[in-house]
Structure formats: structure tokens, C-alpha cells
Amino acid sequence: MDKVLVTGGLGFIGSHTVIELQNEGFEVVIIDNLSNSSIDVLEGITAISGKSPLFEQLDLKDKSAVQNFFSKHKDIKGVIHFAASKAVGESVQEPLLYYENNLNTLIYILQELTAKKASNFIFSSSCTVYGQADNMPITEDAAIKPAESPYGNTKQIGEEIIKDTCKVKSNFNAIALRYFNPIGAHPTAEIGELPIGVPQNLVPFITQTGAGLRDALSVFGDDYPTPDGTCIRDYIHVVDLAKAHVVALKRLLNKKNTSNYETFNIGTGVGSSVLEVIHSFERVSNKSLNYKIADRREGDVISAYADTTKANEELGWKAASSLDEAMLSAWKWEQKIRGL
């Protein structure tokens, strides 16, 4: 059974990916520093899969800890790297924290992997690297625009670091998955998104409003040049996103990759406006959502949704869930954690 390291494996996307790896027969080792997750997620993973992954609480900013880990686990066949800080707004306030946490950790892992005979690496990237793309849907060869935030910059720089490494290390194989907007939760409602404090992202704010934790959702602007005036995004079920990681890892393990550095847009290919997401919640919950129109949010792009042709045809992956199915899973999770 191939052993795979998942960094940030107790986080939102990481935990769902651990489940899909276990379902495919991989042995999973999780590293997490619990800065943005809870040890309870380990219980949720085990409850779903019946298999408890190995877990090491360590901070990847500690270079010697990373070196010790890899000397202990020489049989790791692949690494899926989620561990990073990811709050756009916070990154503007704390840029050095973001550059240190998102880049030093990546470099320390790559130093270990490139010292091995052969290694396989899946990088958690983001559609944020495109900024406001010129054309919709967005293809992988769309221009990489100057980042709107230090967070987005760490994803761009991260990809560059990996690309430059791949150029000189032919034994190092990497895939960067550029996520669009992950939403929802595992259908068992044993794991899901656990935003700390006031949710920055749309869907957890909607479900918390639906659960009565928030008075009203503020819609950040309805005067954009879109059909209903609100911003458009590509909301993908987190389980579909998790499955994309397993497919990408198998591509490298089975040496099906066409170069040792590849990028794929991981989305549904469907753009949904903020108001359409609100209506999706109202349909699946049979509740009316209290919301008000507020000012635009600094740094928001007008529209971003994926051209998924490359992932469909080359990766052999396609998102299966609709917006309503993803929203229903998010709502079921919210009800579960609030005891509703």
C-alpha cells in the first residue's frame, strides 16, 4: 500500500482528500500544526473511513522537524501539500507571516523531496493566480496577473519555485491544482468547513446566517457588469476537489504525466453569481435567507470560472456535483455542528 503524506491534512480540503486517498487504498500520514484546524477532524476521518491515518503535529516552518520527519518516513511515495495560511484579507495585514508560512514550508519540503531518487508532489494552488482573467472560462494558459494580495502572491511564487525546481530536477514530478471555490462538506456530515471566527467566504457565511448565528449576509456589491450585478465564481464540491487530488497523484505514480511540471484548473466550469448561490441555499434549505446589499469588497474580481477541458481530457477528472448538491452538503454540515 503506497504511503502518502498530506500536509494540512486536518484542514477543510486536506481532510476530504485524506478520505478519498484512504478509499483508494493509500496509507496516509498527516502533518498538521493545528493552527487552523482541530484534532477532532482526525476522529471524523476515522468515523468515515474506518481507518485512522498516522498523524504528526509539527510546524513545517521548523526546518529540522521537516528533515527529521522525512528521515523517519523514507517510504513516502507522494506528497499532497495543503498546509498554508489562506485568508486573503489577513494576508494584506500580515504579509510577512504569509510569506514565511506559505513559502519557507514549501521550500523545506521540496529540499527533502528533491534529495530522494524520485518524488511526486501535488501543490494546492488557486485560481487567484489569474487575478481578473481577460476571458471566461479561464484556461490554464491564461495570463498570470499581478497578485491582488500577499496570499495570492504566495501561490504565484509557490508555483514559480516548483517550476524552477522541476527544470533542474528531472526526478521530481509535480502537479499544481488551481482550485476555484471549494464549498460543501462530506455527505456523512462527519467533516466539513470549520471557519474560525466570522467567515470570510460566502458559503459558510450563508449557512451560519441560515442557522441563526449571523443576522444577515452582506452581498458585497450588486453593481458589477454581470447579469444580476453580483460577482461570479465557480463553486466546486469539496469532495469533487478531493478526488481530483487522488487522480493527479495517481497520474504521477503511474508516470502518465507528459512533463514533470503540470497545472490543472479544478472547477465545475459553471459560473454562479452571489445571488444565484443565495437562491441555491434557499432551494435546498427551504428557508429564506436574510441578506442586504453592501459596498463592494476590495480586491474582488468580477468573474472567475474554469475551463475544465484540460482536467477532463488529460487528467480524466470531472466535477460530479451541482451547486445545489454542494450547498445541501454545506447546510447539512452546518445543521450538524449547530445541533439543529
Binding site for ligand WQD (CB under 6 A): 86, 88, 126, 128, 181, 200-202, 205, 217-220, 231, 233, 274, 297, 300
Cell of residue 225, nine digits: 457588469
Q: How far is the CB of 63 from ligand WQD (least distance, A)?
A: 25
Rounded to 10 deg, the angle between the 150-168 and 105-113 helix axes is 20
- The residue among 112, 272, 250 whose CA lies nearest residue 180 is 272
Strands, E assignment, 110-168: 119-126
Residue with Cβ nearer ligand WQD (188 or 201): 201
DSSP 101: I
Q: How far is the CB of 232 from ligand WQD (least distance, A)?
A: 8
Q: How far is the CB of 299 from ligand WQD (least distance, A)?
A: 8
Q: Are the C-beta atoms of 149 and 87 separated by less than 8 Å?
A: no
Residue with Cβ nearer ligand WQD (231 or 266): 231
182 phi/psi in degrees, rounded to 5: -70, 135
In this chain, which residue has its C-beta nearest to ligand WQD?
231
Q: Are the C-beta atoms of 31 and 5 separated by less than 8 Å?
A: yes
Q: Residue 43: helix, strand or coil by DSSP?
A: helix
- Cell numbers 475544465 correspond to 308
* Residue 224 designated active-site: no
Q: Residue 126: helix, strand or coil by DSSP?
A: strand
Q: How far is the CB of 211 from ligand WQD (least distance, A)?
A: 15
Q: Residue 331: helix, strand or coil by DSSP?
A: helix
Q: How far is the CB of 305 from ligand WQD (least distance, A)?
A: 10
Q: Are the C-beta atoms of 129 and 156 separated by less than 8 Å?
A: yes
Q: How many residues does the chain have?
A: 340
* Alpha carbons 232 and 163: distance in angstroms, whole number: 30
Residue with Cβ nearer ligand WQD (29 or 158): 158
Point out the catalytic residue in the list 98, 108, 130, 151.
151
Residue with Cβ nearer ligand WQD (253 or 293): 293
Residues in contact with 68: Cβ distance below 8 Å, sequence separation at least 6, in sequence order:
none
Residue with Cβ nearer ligand WQD (38 or 218): 218
Q: How far is the CB of 117 from ligand WQD (least distance, A)?
A: 32
Cell of residue 29, nine digits: 500520514
Residue with Cβ nearer ligand WQD (231 or 330): 231
Residue with Cβ nearer ligand WQD (75 or 295): 295
Q: What does 248-316 look like in DSSP terms, one character per residue? A: HHHHHHTT--SSSEEEEEES-S--EEHHHHHHHHHHHH--PPPEEEEPPPTT--SB--B--HHIIIII-
Q: How far is the CB of 297 from ligand WQD (least distance, A)?
A: 5
| Residues belonging to the active site | 151
